[in-house]
Structure 1
């Protein structure tokens, strides 16, 4: 029996098969290439933001100096030496000394530790309260009215007078219970956190209101998934972006608020340095020794400015509409 196929057609099919088999090895590496994660896309967008990279570098440098400073500059920030008081910057004292002969550079390092600790702890408390109120108000309609009116009440209160009243009312009980330094730290962190959660709550509530009508949430609800599991597994991961942006901006707000309280003399005691306390100590000597106000003011400005740049970069990087361009 002879083959009835057309020789031209058969040769064309053999050529197509040969070409396809030759192309398979070249396509294999493309098919085996791992997919990029969402966080990699966020990093790719973040690294294109020059201001955010600059701010992150400045902030990391300040944090590293504050954490490693006591090991590199082993000087007691509370040690007084009247013979060396009011000295200008020099080799022995890079930032000079104050009216009691204490090394200002060592006090700047110690003050940075306190200011950053207050800022990060108060930010964590503020995010916890804001996220909790926002999720509950956005997901449970019966709680929305009560929680949002509570948010409006806190927004209507003047921030600085409220902080002053809280410090004056609870300063003595907390210092008597936990000691001076620990009690004031708890008081300032609690006061800042309790009075700065409202913006986060409003942002999270708006996102949750949109998310709970999405298909994946409705599907989870239709199969009987408990609300607690829906919130923790489906809602919270999708509101992580605004929470992270609020976290960066919350650190800056907390540092400025703590500095304002210390500058007014209602923060930490005089022998416990913070950047705001150093500003307060340098004001009476502003004309004779302006560097005493310049250094803590510069540190506060650099930290706040760098954190704001990082927050702007994260906001752009975490926005899928911008990442898709």
Structure 2
């Protein structure tokens, strides 16, 4: 038994090394991964180095241009724009990752249940089609306007809005993951190892956890990377429309919204958060492309 376990462990390690070797050949994905990792490190570790408070105001230092003291300048009430960009990045990335995890959970759950249990397939897929047919942006705006004040009262202005935006984005972006996972589960149900496990009386839950889920990991990982990008864009759009976080709590979308009135006088205030959003989403999309190719056994086997 020990030899068999060692062989299986070696095969698994060899498979993941093959995935890494294929991922490295995708130059855009590799550059995107390095950039996104650096962005995360700068955003979350930067405040320990750049200790200026993003909320600190200075009426005498309003609208300053970029300098050594303020690399990105200051805003209309004298707050350091670089510190705000760091805090805004923390919020935007945290929303993106949390909303992605929530949508991934719902999408995987619905996809696996619909693909494995035939009697539930039609109901769950029609439910998925219903969500796909909804106009998402107006729906998001309505939900936020309805639940914003109660959640602010219950959890505070910042935590309440964070929970609301994460939940709203998560429950409105799981449909593509569900359809992809369902298709893979339908194919896996007819594979020999699943039929063999079923023939010896393997319980359904154990079948799903041991044989189905590990084999649909590839599309789930790709959906995860694309989900982060989608969540960042959605949060930025909501903040740009003024329905995201409070005005004194920066996100990249909120900074972009607050800077539009000063586009001609101080264009860097619009360019910097817009560039941060664009580059982070672009890098995540490249990572998703690289993972899709690396996890495809047909491409990896060439």
TM-score, normalised with respect to structure 2: 0.96
Query: Is the aligned partner of 1:89 residue 2:77?
Result: no
Aligned mates of 2:288, 2:245 — CA distance in 1: 28
Which of 20, 26, 48 is residue 43 of structure 1 equivalent to? Answer: 20
Query: Is the aligned partner of 1:299 residue 2:290?
Result: no
* Mapping of residues 276-295 of structure 1, within 5 Å: 276-295=253-272
Deviations 1:181-221 (A, max 9, x none): 11000000000000000000000000000001111111111
The residue aligned with 2:244 is 267
Query: Is the aligned partner of 1:136 residue 2:130?
Result: no
User: Hey, which bits of structure 1, 4+ residues long, moved more than 4 A?
Assistant: none
The residue aligned with 2:221 is 244
The alpha-carbon deviation at position 72 of structure 1 amounts to: 1.2
The alpha-carbon deviation at position 107 of structure 1 amounts to: 0.1
* Mapping of residues 116-265 of structure 1, within 5 Å: 116-265=93-242
Aligned mates of 1:143, 1:179 — CA distance in 2: 40
The alpha-carbon deviation at position 37 of structure 1 amounts to: 1.5
Deviations 1:18-55 (A, max 9, x none): xxxxxxxxxxxxxxxx7662100000100111011110
Which of 81, 88, 100 is residue 104 of structure 1 equivalent to? Answer: 81
The alpha-carbon deviation at position 81 of structure 1 amounts to: 0.7
The alpha-carbon deviation at position 115 of structure 1 amounts to: 0.4
The SS at the match of 2:242 is coil
The SS at the match of 2:74 is coil
In the alignment, structure 1 segments of 5+ residues that lack a partner are: 1-33
Deviations 1:218-265 (A, max 9, x none): 111111111000000000000000000000000000000000000000
The SS at the match of 1:37 is helix
* Mapping of residues 46-65 of structure 1, within 5 Å: 46-65=23-42
Aligned mates of 2:300, 2:217 — CA distance in 1: 16
Aligned mates of 1:64, 1:301 — CA distance in 2: 18
Aligned mates of 1:122, 1:37 — CA distance in 2: 32
Aligned mates of 1:125, 1:68 — CA distance in 2: 25
The alpha-carbon deviation at position 172 of structure 1 amounts to: 1.0
Aligned mates of 2:264, 2:16 — CA distance in 1: 51
In the alignment, structure 2 segments of 5+ residues that lack a partner are: 1-9
Deviations 1:98-144 (A, max 9, x none): 00100000000000000000000000000000000000000000100
TM-score, normalised with respect to structure 1: 0.89
Aligned mates of 2:16, 2:144 — CA distance in 1: 41
Deviations 1:49-94 (A, max 9, x none): 1011110111011111001110111000011111100111011100
Aligned mates of 1:115, 1:98 — CA distance in 2: 20
Aligned mates of 2:61, 2:290 — CA distance in 1: 45
